Amino acid sequence: MDEVTRQKATPNEVDRALAHLDPDAGRPSNVVDVRNLSLHFGAKTVISDVTIPFERGTITALIGPTGSGKSTFLRTLNRMNDRVVGFRHEGEVLLDDESIWSSSQDLLTLRRRVGMLFQRPNPFPMSIKDNVVAGVKAHGIAKGRELDVVAETRLREVGLWNAVKDRLNDSPYRLSGGQQQLLCLARALAVGPEVLLLDEPTSALDPLSTEAVENLLRTLVPALTLIVVTHNLGQARRISDRTMFFYEGRLVEHGPTPALFESPRDPDTARYVNGLMG
């Protein structure tokens, strides 16, 4: 670079340069936009008329008593309910302004973009390394030697590398529950999702593992958008930017997490966050 071009950039120019580097530039600020969504299994209505945007790069916690429909809501966002007998939906879910049910939406690509982590760790019956790269292979993202690089990168990202680097070809079931969940997280991250859905990701884990997973989740934003179903109110407060309270299939209240917990507007929300209703 010569002397002439190396002059001081104005703040505006910096902004423009950064905006150019930002992969999310020019994309809607709400990565997922749910509009008037109702979900039914047969004659039973599980979710009625929910409208809520999910802002890019944030963590949203979905809380509510068992049977409030929050898990069903979550599993709808990557269309995991589509094959369930009797499942119907009304309304729309937009991913980057495009309906997830639109005919131009490829289901497999949708699920690559919207990853999921389950309540119980579910590593596949293959080696640790093969687990990390399972999705990468399926989508043909990398192959051969590149897979080793992907495996190491992702295992480092979830803080598992040092624990497993000498046994990449071992069975994943010899790992502790917490390590298995981190492995599943590495597997989900490896395909480069934009949104990650987490269905009570730590409810099967001990407190130390829970802390490790929670700390990790905070490092994933703002690169990713996280939507977490949790029964652990403390967890919702610790990790989420916004919280949504579901009760009997309705989205009763939502807002910034501190506000929802400290000054809930709805009496049901107040009872739930204060532990008077489980």
Partner 1 sequence: MSVVPASYPSTRWRRAKVGLFRAFTILALAFVIGPALWIIGGVVVKAVPGWRWNVLTTLSQGTSGGLENAIVGTLLLMLGVTVVAGSIGILTGIYLAEIAPPTRRGRSSGAVVRVVIDVLSGFPSIVLGYVGYVALVVGLHWGYSFLPAVLILSLMVIPYIAKATESALHQVPTSYREGAEALGMSLGYGLRKVVVRSALPGIVTGLLLALAIAGGETAPLLYTAGASNTLPSIAPLHHPVAYLTYYVWTDWNQPMASAHVVSYDASLILIVMVLTLLVVSRVIVARTQRHSESAR
Give the binding site for partner 1 (CB under 8 A). 78, 80, 85-86, 107-112, 115-116, 118, 120, 122-127, 130, 134-135, 137-139, 170-174, 184, 187-188, 191
CB of 133 to partner 1, least distance (A): 11
Rounded to whole angstroms, the Cα distance separating 12 from 15 reads 5
> For residues 194 and 253, which CB has a smaller minimum distance to partner 1 in the complex?
194
CB of 114 to partner 1, least distance (A): 9
> For residues 154 and 254, which CB has a smaller minimum distance to partner 1 in the complex?
154
CB of 100 to partner 1, least distance (A): 13
Query: Considering only CA atoms, which of 183, 194, 260, 181 is closest in space to residue 227?
Result: 194
Which residues touch 262 (CB under 8 Å, ≥6 apart)? none
CB of 45 to partner 1, least distance (A): 18
> For residues 117 and 251, which CB has a smaller minimum distance to partner 1 in the complex?
117
Rounded to whole angstroms, the Cα distance separating 62 from 71 reads 9
Segment (H or E) for 109: helix 107-113
> For residues 164 and 191, which CB has a smaller minimum distance to partner 1 in the complex?
191
Angle of the 177-190 helix axis to the 207-220 helix axis, nearest 10: 20
Rounded to whole angstroms, the Cα distance separating 42 from 45 reads 8
> For residues 199 and 253, which CB has a smaller minimum distance to partner 1 in the complex?
199
CB of 101 to partner 1, least distance (A): 16
Tell me which DSSP letter residue 167 carries.
G
Residues in the chain: 278
> For residues 89 and 139, which CB has a smaller minimum distance to partner 1 in the complex?
139
CB of 110 to partner 1, least distance (A): 7
SS3 (DSSP) at 91: strand
Tell me the two tokens of residue 140.
Answer: 């043909």
> For residues 172 and 249, which CB has a smaller minimum distance to partner 1 in the complex?
172
Tell me which DSSP letter residue 262 carries.
H
Query: Considering only CA atoms, which of 245, 248, 238, 235 is closest in space to residue 265?
Result: 245
CB of 217 to partner 1, least distance (A): 17
SS3 (DSSP) at 52: strand
Q: Enumerate the β-bridge partners of residue 47.
A: 39
